[in-house]
Structure 1
Amino acid sequence: MAEVRKVPFTDLHRQYSQLKQEIYDSIEAVFEASAFTAGPFVQEFEHQFAKYCNTQGAVGVSSGTSALHLALRCLGVGPGDEVIVPANTFIASAWAPIYMGANPVFVDCDEFYNLDINKVEAAITKRTCAIICVHLYGHPCDMYSLKEIGMQCGVNLIEDAAQAHGAKYHGLMVGGIAELGCFSFYPSKNLGGAGEGGAVVTQRENYAAQIRMLRNQGAPAKHQYSEIGYNYRMDGIQAAILQVKLQHLDRWNIRRRDIASRYEAKIENGRIQTPKVADSVEHAFHLYVVSVDDQAKFTNHLSNHQVSYGLHYPIPCHLQKAFTHLGNRRGDFPYSEYLAAHGVSLPIFPELTDDEIDYVIEVVNRYK
């Protein structure tokens, strides 16, 4: 085996060191203008991000979680309503309905780790008012099928693209395919800030206008409050840094896909199943999640050879204590539960070196 070295799961300092001067200059510009909350830097980022996503509008907010909350508020979701959410996702996707007094209705995942289209329609009831489809790990959902189900059943569709910046479905940029698209700019995302941040993108200006008002305490104008609102504004510093990083996003995603291709081509171990990718998508590979025969044994093997890893996610949403009141039980969503017990995320970030990639592959192939 090659010389043992520590391979990080992610390394934000490598990215920062390459962009240090650009980031310093952007922060200095915010301080010189004293535009710390909302303001011109946020407006310029919104303009650039909407253009990138091919949408009519983008609204910068405080986090991906607040983006989902505002999207449901914009659609009028309320107490007694139901919102379909994948059982296999980060917990924030399921918090949003709870914040509105609605119930998340969980649906199992498919072979691509996303909502199982064949089970979505069966989960719709007369109380269903929205579907949150999560482009999990960077793989876009089957949006045409979901839009058709939504139209037939009169149900709104929201894209949770928190892990899918720059991913495409049939050539369309994710986020702008449904009525509303929600993004997170948490530091480790494909497009990450220097703290918390998020955005809602949409093709409808009336939605964008309402979300701008709601994020700003419900105020359409200073000292005027027409609705109950929130303090969900984006910081000027985050927006300025995101403008810098947005210029590099496509290049970073190309590198992520290159790493994924090398893993796919060179991992040759019958105990490891690499992720499937649909022909219709351009994967953003926020995460590279393999399934293994024995999660504990495999992760111990990685640790012994100093390869860092992640688990996304070890407890599916429907089995979290916070959702006990919904009455879900173990066995309700078997594929999500299987992935929780067998999924392991390998290192994948743009600054990963070729030697590190080869070492990860070597370590994985030596697992027995």
Structure 2
Amino acid sequence: MAARIVHSGPRTFDIPGPHYQWPIIDDSLKEAIVAQTERSLSDRDSTGIVGEFEREFAAFVDAPHAISFSSGTSAIHAMSRIAGLGPGDAVLAPAYTFLATASPFAFEGVEVVFVDADEYGNVTAETLADQLKPNIRAVIVTHLWGNPCDMPAIAEFCREHGLLLLEDCSHAHFASRADQHVGSLADLAVYSTNQKAITTGEGGILTMSQQRYRDLALLFGHYNKRCQTEIDPAADYAPFAFTGMGLKHRLHPVAAAIGVHQLARAADIERRRRGVLDRFVTGLAGNPVISPVVVPPEQGQHGLYVTGLRYHPDNSTVSLGEFVSWCHAEGATEVDVPGSTRDISQEPLFTRRDPHAPYRVTPSPAPSGRPPRLSRFAGVQRFQDTFIKIPLWGYDGDDPMVEGYLAALTAVSTAVAA
């Protein structure tokens, strides 16, 4: 295939990569990092930058409590333990998600019962109800690619069936539904801060409404000094303060300093990212080949992680993969079909029930040779067969990127339209 696919002239978009970097490493961020290296490289309690980050993040998402972790995955692992789930229990989880939404539950021997997706890639109260079974004790939802789930309906479903409500808000730092920030209806909610709209570089944070859950989160990842200082000696779990639950998952103070720096700029980040998202929604209006995957305003506010696009193969003369290749040839190299976020329900990790069993793949009743993108869930299949994403830029001065990608997407769509 020739490099010039759409036309014989210069590329529509010809800015050297990388086309997306986050966070922006400016002088103020460098100063915050250097200042923290001089202040402390190891916070053992919440009197320093780690505690400051937790308090500011809790305020940002309207949560009573927040405890930081070394990653979103470790925060979800803490969530699984705090929820009291173990072998014999089951959790309802999205089939279409990033693996860490469900993998910590499987690590603990909890059965993960997977659930179908709607047009935004999200679970609904109806898809959850389709998979309900007696040993299910909790639900975890993910707000995929920034689009908020219908949390009022899901919360009502959980209340009706006596289930804990857990949220993976990793894609949805700025999302809301029914004027409530995502995570606000959950018993426990996790936000990854690894290259997300609010980032610490690496990290995660667990929010909760109950003091008991906060203390158990400390026991999971912040043993010794912090637990001994912050947990009420009268609590039934207080004797474990010295050892915790046996693990340590503390966020690094330099990461916390990056997070505090980003939270101070949250309003500007949201303003710019929301403006860029609106630019793509407006600019692609009427495009028959691709359309933005964004919940309408009456359903909620987008979480501002990426710009999701739906490909309409019936209106195109090429496949989705060819469309992406054409965009790359036009210079828009960040147009992407997700690989890590996909149907995870057939991964061998989720067939395990004994957390101490050897890691060997056992024969599966699933047909052999199943293509990697073929799902047993119709909604998941429809979504992942047509979804592509591009970055959602969030800083002043990125107009050439926004306009260049919009021009490239429009040019390729025009060239391939049926």
- Given the two structures, how large is their TM-score scaled by the length of structure 1? 0.91
Do 1:67 and 1:182's aligned partners in 2 also have CA atoms closer than 8 Å?
yes
Q: Residues 23 and 170 (structure 1 numbering): CA distance in 2 closer, same or farther, change over 3 Å?
A: farther
Q: CA RMSD in A?
A: 2.4
2:275 match: secondary structure? helix
Equivalenced residue count is: 363
- 8 Å contact kept, 1:253–1:284: no
With 325-334 and 62-71 compared, the bigger mean Cα shift is at 325-334
Contact persistence 1:9–1:309 (CA under 8 A): no
1:335 corresponds to which residue? 379
| Aligned counterpart, 1:211 | 217
- Aligned residue in 2 for 1:287: 306
Task: Please tell me the residue identity of whatever aligns with 1:365.
Answer: T
Q: Tell me if structure 1 keeps the 8 A contact 2:54–2:67.
A: yes
Closer, same or farther in 2 for the Cα pair 1:324/1:162, shift >3 Å?
Answer: same
- How far is the alpha carbon of 1:27 from its aligned partner? 3.7
Deviation at 1:9, TM superposition (A): 5.0
Conserved 8 A contact 2:32-2:257: no
Deviation at 1:227, TM superposition (A): 5.4
Higher mean C-alpha displacement, 355-364 vs 66-75: 355-364
TM value normalised by structure 2: 0.80
Report what 2:393 is aligned to: 349
Rounded to whole Å, the distance in 2 between the matches of 1:185 and 1:327 is 37
Q: Identify the match of residue 250 of structure 1 among 267, 280, 298.
A: 267
Secondary structure of 1:214's aligned partner: helix
* TM-fit CA distance, 1:32: 2.9
Identify the range of structure 1 (260-269 vs 127-136) with the bigger mean alpha-carbon deviation: 260-269
CA distance in 2, matches of 1:332, 1:358: 38
Q: Unpaired runs of 5+ in structure 1?
A: none
Q: What residue in structure 2 maps to residue 21 of structure 1?
A: 28
- Asked if 1 retains the 8 angstrom alpha-carbon contact of 2:12 and 2:411, the reply is no
**Does the CA contact (< 8 Å) of 2:120 and 2:383 recur in 1?**
no
> Is contact 1:166-1:250 (8 Å) kept?
no
Alpha-carbon separation, structure 2, partners of 1:6 and 1:306: 8
Q: Does residue 265 of the first structure (1) align with residue 274 of the second (2)?
A: no
Residues 225 and 36 (structure 1 numbering): CA distance in 2 closer, same or farther, change over 3 Å? closer
| Distance (Å, rounded) in 2 between the aligned partners of 1:358 and 1:180 | 39
Q: Distance in 2 between matches of 1:224 and 1:164?
A: 33
Which structure 2 residue ranges, 5 or more long, are not aligned? 1-10, 230-239, 314-318, 353-363, 368-373
- Residue 217 of structure 1: how far off its partner (Å): 4.2
Report how far residue 238 of structure 1 moved. Answer: 1.0
Using a 3 Å threshold, how does the CA distance of structure 1 residues 321 and 101 change in structure 2: closer, same or farther? closer
- Give 1:355 shift: 2.7
In structure 1, the partner of 2:338 is: 312
User: Which amino acid in structure 2 is aligned with residue 317 of structure 1?
Assistant: I
Match of 1:32 in 2: 39
Aligned to 1:44, what secondary structure does the other structure show?
helix
Counterpart contact for 2:106–2:349, Cα < 8 Å: no
Equivalence for 1:221? 228
Say which one has the larger Rg.
2
Secondary structure class of the residue paired with 1:221: helix
Residues 1:51 and 2:69 are matched in the alignment: no
User: What amino acid is aligned across from residue 16 of structure 1 in structure 2?
Assistant: I
How much has 1:166 moved relative to structure 2?
2.2
